[in-house]
Amino acid sequence: MNIEIERKFLVTSTAYKQLSIEKIEIIQGYLSKIPERTVRIRIADKNAWLTLKGKSDSQGLARREWEYKIPLSEAHELLALCEKPLIRKTRYKIPYNNLMIEVDEFQEPRQTVWAEVELPSMDTPFDPPEWLGKEVTGDPNYYNAQL
């Protein structure tokens, strides 16, 4: 079983763009968005994945996650079955203190920007850079499935 441990933050400036080492265009959709089990299809550039996630813990910090690479052609077919609207976003990857911050600029279904950082353990310290603002970990308004 895989556990995803993730913190989310609002973004207060575009400083991350200059620090980014990678920029990825993403389209994703959900076959299931119920909190007990979300099932997502994602195309990131020319790669595709099927991701299953369990319900978040009481803090919204950790949940079970399984991710499988799938053929791009199948991902396109599965996206057609997903709930609408699909999510379109640009992801920037920023290395920071031996971790990777991912900033997502959402274009659809609404324009917004927030950042996530995956931690290797629940007790991993994380001191956010100055361009990250309010922490929104656990706030369901900032789950991709709620867009």
Active-site annotation holder among 16, 30, 92, 142: 30
CB atoms within 10 A of CB 139: 12
Q: How many Cα atoms within 13 Å fall on the side-chain side of residue 8?
A: 17
Q: Is 96 a catalytic residue?
A: no
According to DSSP, residue 46 is labeled T
Cα–Cα distance, 100 to 36 (Å, whole number): 27
- Catalytic residue numbers read 30
